[in-house]
Amino acid sequence: MNTVLSLNTPTYNLSQEEYNFFHENSYLVIKNLFSEEECDRIYELFCEHADENFSAIINLDREIPELHNVMKMPKVVSIIESLVDSEAYGLMTQMLFKEANTTYANQAWTVHQDNAYHQSQSGATLTINIACKDAYVENGTLYVYPGTHKEGILPFEPRKSFREDKGEQPGNNLSLPEKYFDKKTNVIMKKGDMFILHGNCAHGSYGNTTEFSRPLYSITYIKKGEPFLVGKNANRKEFSLH
């Protein structure tokens, strides 16, 4: 059976310039990696399983093979394994809708590192974020502090970051070194772009104050052989990509 989210994709030839940018800045945006049809299909599948508040959904791909295909697409895996210089595994997935006019629309994540949750001491995790619609400051895009991946896991204040109480902002609030205060960089994405984030990159997001939703499909990967925390909600486990 043919699906929109097919494993039949070409690989992506990551350039030396892209490789160097990621390892210097701890993030990278690949433009137009996903087609409009692919983005619409991802969003459609998650909307079918969303509650009335469009709360975050973790690991739905484990129930829907078509969504799981996205984790294993050659055009994605080739980028991941080029960046970690090794074979990699998938760990978990999540959809953050920021659906306009819902409880979570104004959700703005505090500055945190994803690896504060994964606890991979080598920092060998990264997360892709597929923009299913355009993402910009007003509708809640992310911002990063380039180069912070070189700091390892920074001290942080643990905070509830899944189905948090109304009015609370998620994200393990970290102590950002002062030298990064003026380096904040907004990540502007068009539908179909893929944003790649190093596990130790400090980042946060804005609230959505518009009538336009900002769904991002996130998939976390880890370098082969690296330890990680399973997590109570995330239920991380390794999935082969080949």
pTM of the predicted structure, to 2 decimals = 0.94
pLDDT of residue 49: 97
pLDDT on residue 48: 97
Q: For the chain (length 242 residues), average pLDDT per consecutive 10?
A: 86 98 97 98 98 94 97 98 96 96 88 88 87 98 96 76 61 85 97 97 95 97 92 93 95
Distance (Å, whole) CA 213 – CA 98? 6
Distances (CA, A) of 100 to 51, 106, 137, 165, 188: 14, 9, 14, 18, 18
Residue 120 confidence (pLDDT): 82
Residue 171 CA to residue 11 CA, distance in Å, equals 33
How do strand 57-58 and strand 88-96 relate by DSSP bridges?
antiparallel
Task: Give the pLDDT score at 163.
Answer: 60
2 near 65, Cβ under 8 Å? no
